[in-house]
Amino acid sequence: GEPYFSHCVETAKTLISLKLDLNTICAGLLHDTIEDVDSATERHLANKFGDTIAALVQGVTKISKYPLQQHGRDEQRQAENYLKLLLATAQDVRVILIKLADRLHNMETLQFQPEDKRRETAKETLEIYAPIAHRLGISRIKNRLEDISFKYLLPYEYKNIAKALNRKLAEREAYAEETASHISAVLQQASIDASVGGRPKNIYSIYQKINEKGIPFEEIYDLIGMRVLVNRDIDCYTAAGAIHTRWPHVSERFKDFIGLPKANGYQSLHTTILDHGRRVEIQIRTHSM
Ligand code: MN
């Protein structure tokens, strides 16, 4: 029921929030023109807005027509393959970023679509676009895409988790703040220059933990995520050592993604400590990581 242009503006706004360049933002505003406007062609756009913007819009149009279907069970590898396929078609990663911004707004307005279309779009988003956002390291968009898809695919489960989280929100926030200042104090004592903050966990990742990792319901809601940012690579290990000296940690949950980065280049130390029986998940990395 809103003017169509609002979709273009929202897509561009997401690209601005990702701090992308001017050409990408302009292409975000124009992303549906070749597909939806009879008189608009790549050449027409090139004359008016330049070759780069025209090529980006053409790329989005091309990959939107690409039939993508989820077959395998290995989501990471599947995302990797799709990304390669889309990149080969698009020639420019910015095309994929525009497509993700476009999909995000489609998901945010999904309630205006008919029921069967909603489920179909949510499934495709969860299986294809969220893993691609993850692969590109854009966790804010990945989390949003996952949570909205989850809401439409498993509404009952979504509501249960969201309600339980909300009920404990104030308590969780107070506890996160207190824990952050404890960790800060420990690191300061070890002479490590660090900034410590909470990190929100998305609803779908909580659902996955309950279902796939078998972590009990109550423990999940108690679970707090923290992020420690330091200056140098070596400080990550010193910080982990200082934290492990102060709190017991879950040994099988300690992961070194600095020595062995993930396929997408992600680097961090991950550890889970126990604070009065509560699990605190900590990611430690440098600002540049
Ligand atoms: Mn669109």
Supply the pLDDT for residue 180.
Answer: 94
Asked whether the whole model's pTM tops 0.75, one would answer yes
Residues near ion ligand 1 (CB < 5 Å) are: 32, 102
Q: How many CB atoms lie within 10 A of CB 102?
A: 22
Two tokens, residue 267: 């680097």
For residue 27, the number of C-alpha atoms closer than 13 Å in the C-beta half-sphere is 30
Q: Which residues are catalytic?
A: 35-36
How many whole angstroms from 182 Cα to the centroid of ligand 1? 46
How many whole angstroms from 34 Cα to the centroid of ligand 1? 11
Each of the 289 residues of the chain gets a pLDDT tens digit; together they read: 788 899 999 999 999 999 999 999 999 999 999 998 888 999 999 999 999 999 999 999 988 887 666 555 666 677 777 778 887 877 899 999 999 999 999 999 999 999 999 999 999 999 889 989 988 889 889 999 999 999 999 999 999 888 887 777 778 788 888 999 999 999 999 999 999 988 767 889 888 888 877 777 667 766 778 999 999 999 999 999 999 999 999 989 899 999 999 887 889 999 999 998 888 999 999 999 9
How many whole angstroms from 42 Cα to the centroid of ligand 1? 17
Distance CA 68, CA 246 (A): 49
Supply the pLDDT for residue 192.
Answer: 96
Distance CA 86, CA 283 (A): 31
How many whole angstroms from 107 Cα to the centroid of ligand 1? 11
Supply the pLDDT for residue 221.
Answer: 64
**Is the C-alpha dihedral spanning 265, 101, 142, 178 positive or negative?**
positive
Supply the pLDDT for residue 258.
Answer: 97
Supply the pLDDT for residue 74.
Answer: 67
Distance CA 1, CA 172 (A): 38
Supply the pLDDT for residue 279.
Answer: 85
Supply the pLDDT for residue 48.
Answer: 96
Q: Are strands 224-230 and 278-286 parallel, antiparallel or unpaired?
A: parallel
Supply the pLDDT for residue 72.
Answer: 56
- CB 165, CB 221: distance < 8 Å: yes
Supply the pLDDT for residue 143.
Answer: 93
Question: Strand pairing partners for 224?
Answer: 280
